[in-house]
Amino acid sequence: VFLATCVAAVADERWGDVELVRDRWGIANVFAETDEGALFGLGWATAEDRAFHMYMLARNMQGRSAEVRGLVTSNTHGDTTVEMDRRNRTLGYFRSAQRIAENLDEETLTLLNAYCDGVNTYIRQHPDRLSPLFEQTGLEPEPWTPAHCIAVVWNFAIHFTDDGLNDLQ
């Protein structure tokens, strides 16, 4: 038996009808008339479930994690947040993500913008439902962009592999 609750329904001429339904386990199911609508719904659901995590990963890739976390030393490598931020700014991960986003083909950019609009709409409409970690750390959500999407994917890639800097030694 599929027991579900409708969390959000949006009608927008940009992407048609979008419905976000959570099943009995809380898993988001997005139903949409268009691909853009599906990506909008996915962005909404991701922000609803993981907004704080998303923003912290983006801050890391921007070299801005110490702004939120303070001066903390990593248990893994012994680097401080300031040293990690300096490295990420020097390597220019987020600047590169911005350049790539500016040069995406129109279809990909349209889909990523729909996703970002889903994230931003959820954040804007539901500030009271955001993780208490936003308030506890003083982290203010900034507009989510295609560059944020690219940078966060890179963050996962670096986390599960290596940043490649060991090869330079």
Residue 7, pLDDT > 80, answer no
pLDDT(37) > 50: yes
Residue 107 confidence (pLDDT) above 60 = yes
pTM over 0.75: yes
Query: Does residue 106 have a pLDDT over 50?
Result: yes
- Between the ranges 76-80, 127-131, 163-167, where is the mean pLDDT highest? 127-131
Three state DSSP letters for the chain: CCCEEEEEEEEECCCEEEEEEEECCCCEEEEECCHHHHHHHHHHHHHHHHHHHHHHHHHHHHCCCHHHHCCCECCCCCCEHHHHHHHHHHHCHHHHHHHHHHCCCHHHHHHHHHHHHHHHHHHHHCHHHCCHHHHHHCCCCCCCCHHHHHHHHHHHHHHHCCCCHHHHC
Q: Is the predicted pLDDT of residue 163 greater than 80, yes or no?
A: no
Question: What is the overall mean pLDDT for the chain?
Answer: 88
Say yes or no to pLDDT of 2 above 80. Answer: no
Does the pLDDT of residue 10 top 90, yes or no?
no
Mean of pLDDT values over 3-25: 75
Q: Quick one: pLDDT band at residue 60, thresholds 50, 70, 90?
A: very high
